[in-house]
Each structure stands twice: as structure tokens, then as C-alpha cells.
Structure 1
Amino acid sequence: MSVDHYENFPVASWLCPPALRPAVVALYHFARTADDLADEGDATPAERAQALRDYRADLAAVSAGRAPSPRWARVFTPLARELHRLQPALLHDLLDAFEQDLAPPRYRDRAQLLDYCRRSANPVGRLLLGLYGVADAASLRRSDAICSALQLINFWQDFSRDGPNGRLYVPQADLDRHGVPAEDVLACRDGPAARALVADLCAWARTLMRDGAPLALHLRGRAGWELRFVVQGGLLILDKIAAGGHDSLRRRPAVGARDFPRLLWRALTMRAAP
């Protein structure tokens, strides 16, 4: 699994069965293009909002068996061929999250932030499970836990990128508990209270990942191995944050090529929830 554009959207990799690659690639390009509409370029907020509305209209069109507009034909034409294996409602959930990011709210508590993860991250896991024919309640719950954990880890990794853009994903309840002003997080001001806050947030993400990790051992074949790397990659980011004294407000940790042997070993030796 590779990750691009600072988000946890999987691309068809050597672990993905060839029969599923067209659907996975179509899903990836759908999500990445929507991400670009919400984040990239010099468009005004109003122009971004309109573009996402138009994008949603094209999704509704192909879902109803109609032709998309020419603007994103390279996205929606291949997606239309794979929609019989995907769930359009989950694709609409992703667009809901991208639209919310245009004017990101302040999150009241962890439940409200997890509701954002339900739309921004969890649909990807559910869509991929659907491609593998997995639909039981326990697997879906574990997939949601993994995807939400990955989204949270992305937040705790990306303070230095989100802060300058005015995006704050730390719930107000956590800020209050640690006595850290929201403005300090947005300005990436490091300090003992801020590090204690980051440590608490990372522990939350690690607990979620542990709850979902058994899914990687339950799934057979390539899907299970791919998910092992996903789980261990997320946990490695948390380990890097911890190794830096939870200083991710001032330093962004990342997983690179040098980490692959460690990831491989962790995936090979994964026997139970980390």
C-alpha cells in the first residue's frame, strides 16, 4: 500500500489482486481528485464549494447510469465501470468530509471528531472490504477502528501543516483538560502541556488501532498482508512521535524507505493486537 497527498488513500499495489486493481485505482482517483478540489490550487472557498457540488452531481449521474460531464470524465468514466462493486453512499460520505474541510469547524469532543472520521476515512476501508467480499459486522467495526486511527494519526503527524491553514482537529475537551489554548496548537507552540496533550491524543489513536488490528490477522491472502503493513505503518508513526518526546507540534515525523525492514519484520511477526 502506498500513501499519497498526505492522506490515507490506498493505491493498487503489488499486494492488490489484479482483478481488483481497476476498482481500487478508480476509487483512489475519485478520492484524490476530490481532495485536490478541496485543498489544491488558488481557487476561492466559494469556487471550491461549487466544484465539489459539481463533482457530486457527476457522481449522482454515473450512479444513475447517466454520462458524467466532460470536466472529470477521466475520473468518472472508469468509476462508472466499477460502481457495481462499490457503494455510492460511501463515496458521498467522502465528499461530505471534503466539503466540511472547506470551513473546518472546531470539534467539541472526541465523539464529534470521530463522526468526521466516519465520513473522511472509514468509507475507504468499507469500500475495500466490499471489494474483497467481506461484510460481517465485526470486520466492519474493526475496519472503522483502523481507518479512524489512521486519520487521527495523520492529524497528530500533521500539526505543522494543518496549523498554518487554520485547521484544528484537537477536540476542545482535550484542550481544556490539558490547559492548552487552541491558538497555541494552531501556532505549533511546543511546551510541556502541549506534549502531554499530544501524548494523550496518540494514546487514543493507539487504542483504536489495537481494537481494529485483529482484522489484519483475520483476513486471508493479500488483503490481510496489506492491512498488516497499514496497521504497522500507523503504529510506527506513533512510535516516532513518542521517540521525539511527543514534539510533533514542531517536527513532523514520517516513515521512509529506511523504515521498510522494520515494517516488514513487524508485519511478518504480527500475531495479535499490537
Structure 2
Amino acid sequence: MSAPLQTATDARTGKGQHDENFPVASHLIHPRNRGAILAFYNYVRAGDDVADHTGLSPERKIEMLDALADALTGKGGSDPSVEPLKRELAAHGQPPTHALELLDAFRMDARKSRYADWDELIHYCRYSAMPVGRFVLDVHGEDPARVYPTSDAICAALQVLNHLQDCGKDFRNLDRVYIPLDVMRKHGADVSMLGADRASPQLRAVIRELAERTLVLLEEGAPLPNRIDDFRLSLEIAAIHRLAVVLTKGLLTRDPLSEKVHHGKAAFALTALGGIAATLVRRPFRSRAPRPAAAGAGR
């Protein structure tokens, strides 16, 4: 029998930023900010691995997530996944707000496995996805009032897109279903269909409807790159947005249970470059000195 897991680090799966569906702090991001984003990612990854660990009870997951939060805020012991982020937050004058909100999402994952409707799913995205975009924007010193709403829309869309792509795997491995149950009922689908090798016509209709709703979110977020002062960050977000649009449109016709939705590396790069090129056409290069983020931004 294996030893019980003591810390979040013990639950790590080995998955890193290069395994994610979308770029995490690519080299478009200025080196002065990449360290903070990667430290944030690694902290969040530790919490996600706890929430998805099949050998832990919901109660033990909550305890470990609480310990991660306490380590970050100084209320508890340390953890190797925490110290780099603590240093970066101090260096950038940032509070731990966004990281702690993501832990709230992982607590939801520990307790909840079904979502009644779209509003419940977007509420989950408020904690599981939107804090990521907000943290990146705050580290770059962007104005929350100007950029948060469109960033929130893109982040929610990315989260729903990932849920749709992984719907079969999430159901089989974790008995977790993010697809709203009311949309399933509307099209005559049921949860058990997610365990099949191929999506039924009813489930395909569900996925199409949710993909269409996701495209609406991406349209709401489309102005974001032009609202960002940091030129390099605007290109990063433009690339991610273009990738998300292409992949979401693919779900209008593709079956995530039997077909690979993501493109190969070459097509992935070309699509990202298309987003970058479009942004370059819309806005000339604007150089500015780095603006330190205000302490307490994002509270």
C-alpha cells in the first residue's frame, strides 16, 4: 500500500505548462513577467492535481487545498509549490486574491460533479478561469476597469471549450460532467452518452449548442487585445483568441468523443500567427516603460 499523500506536492501528476491546450506564458510575454505567470501556473497546477486525484476523498482534497491557501497567506506551513509564487507576488506588489479564488474552484470540483444550467457553469468559470486572466493583466499593470470584462469572457470561453473537448475523459475518469444538464435534456441526451466511443446525434446537438454559446463569449472578448497597453501581451492574447475561435468552430462539426479536436503543432502555430498578424494590422507598436502594478490590484 502506498503512503498517504501529505501535501499538494505529493499529489502532482507531472503535467506542466507544455501539456496545456493553450500557451502558458509563451516567449511573447516579456521575461520580467514570465516568472510570475509560471509561478502562478505551478501553484494552480498543484491545486488542480489535488482536485482531480482519484485516490483522495472529497474531505481530504478540501484539507489539502486549505493547506495550500494557508501556505500562500502565511497562516500555515510551507509547500514547494507555494514559495515561488509568494516571492513573485511580493516582487510585483500583488495580493494572493486570484490564486485563492482558483482554489475555490478546486473545492467546487471536490464537492460537485454536475451543473444544472449555463449560469451554474459560468459561475464555476468565474473562479476556475477568470482569475487566471485577471492575474496576468494585473502583473502587466493593465487597468482592470478597461480589460477585465473582455478578459473574463475569453477566459470563460476557454474553460468551456476545454470542458467540451474533454467531456468524455472527465466523465470516464472523474465522473465529472460540466455540460449543463438542462441542455442535455433539451436535446434528449443523458450523461451516460458521454461514456460511449462516439457521440450520439443527441449529444452532438448538445455540443453544437454549447459551442455556439462559446463563440458568443469569444465575440464579447474580441476587443481585448486592442485594449491592452502591453504590446507583447496583446499579441499573446490575440493568438490565444484566434486559436479558441478555430477550435470552437471545429466543435460545431467534430465529435470530441471520437475525433481529435486540437490541431497539430504546425496548424496550431499558423493559426496563432494569424491572430498575431491581425493584431499587428489593427494597432502599431506602442512602446512604453513597464508600469508597476499597484499594490492590492485585483482585490
**Coarse TM-score class (shorter-chain normalised):** 0.7 to 0.9
Q: Distance in 1 between matches of 2:51 and 2:113?
A: 15
Q: Say if 1:241 and 1:248, in contact at 8 Å, map to a contact too.
A: yes
1:7, distance to aligned residue in structure 2 (A): 6.2
1:29, distance to aligned residue in structure 2 (A): 1.1
Q: Distance in 2 between matches of 1:199 and 1:143?
A: 23
Go from structure 1 to structure 2 and tell me whether the alpha carbon gap of 1:53 and 1:128 turns closer, same or farther (over 3 Å shift): same
Encode CA deviations 1:150-203: one digit per residue, 9 max, x unaligned. 000001111221110211111122112212112223546522221111111000
1:202 maps to: 211
2:190 maps to: 181
Q: Taking CA–CA contacts closer than 8 Å with sequence separation of 6 or more, which of the two structures ends up with the larger relative contact order?
A: 2
Q: Say if 1:158 and 1:252, in contact at 8 Å, map to a contact too.
A: no
Q: Distance in 2 between matches of 1:37 and 1:144?
A: 25
Of residues 245, 248, 251, the one that matches 1:238 is 248
Of residues 125, 132, 137, the one that matches 2:145 is 137
1:17-32 to structure 2, matched below 5 A, reads 17-32=30-45
Q: Say if 1:167 and 1:186, in contact at 8 Å, map to a contact too.
A: no
Which has a greater percent of helix? Answer: 1
Query: In the alignment, is residue 80 of structure 1 matched against residue 86 of structure 2?
Result: yes
1:122 maps to: 130
2:224 maps to: 215
Encode CA deviations 1:121-162: one digit per residue, 9 max, x unaligned. 000000111111112424100000000000000011112211
1:43-58 to structure 2, matched below 5 A, reads 43-58=56-71
Q: Say if 2:115 and 2:178, in contact at 8 Å, map to a contact too.
A: yes
Q: Distance in 1 between matches of 2:156 and 2:17?
A: 16
**For the aligned residues, what is the CA RMSD?**
2.3
Q: Say if 2:254 and 2:261, in contact at 8 Å, map to a contact too.
A: no
1:40, distance to aligned residue in structure 2 (A): 4.1
Q: Distance in 2 between matches of 1:43 and 1:136?
A: 37
Q: Distance in 1 between matches of 2:103 and 2:265?
A: 32
Encode CA deviations 1:62-92: one digit per residue, 9 max, x unaligned. xxxx7x624x1x3322222222433322211
1:107, distance to aligned residue in structure 2 (A): 1.2
Please give the TM-score of this superposition, normalised by the length of structure 1: 0.86
Q: Say if 2:126 and 2:156, in contact at 8 Å, map to a contact too.
A: yes
Stretch of structure 1 that moved more, 209-218 or 42-51: 42-51
Of residues 74, 84, 100, the one that matches 2:108 is 100
Q: Distance in 2 between matches of 1:4 and 1:200?
A: 30
Q: Say if 2:150 and 2:220, in contact at 8 Å, map to a contact too.
A: yes
Paired residue type of 1:255: H
Paired residue type of 2:116: R
Give the % identical residues: 31
Paired residue type of 2:248: L
Query: In the alignment, is residue 110 of structure 1 matched against residue 118 of structure 2?
Result: yes
Q: Distance in 2 between matches of 1:156 and 1:112?
A: 16
Paired residue type of 2:153: A
Unaligned 5+ runs, structure 1: none
1:154 maps to: 162
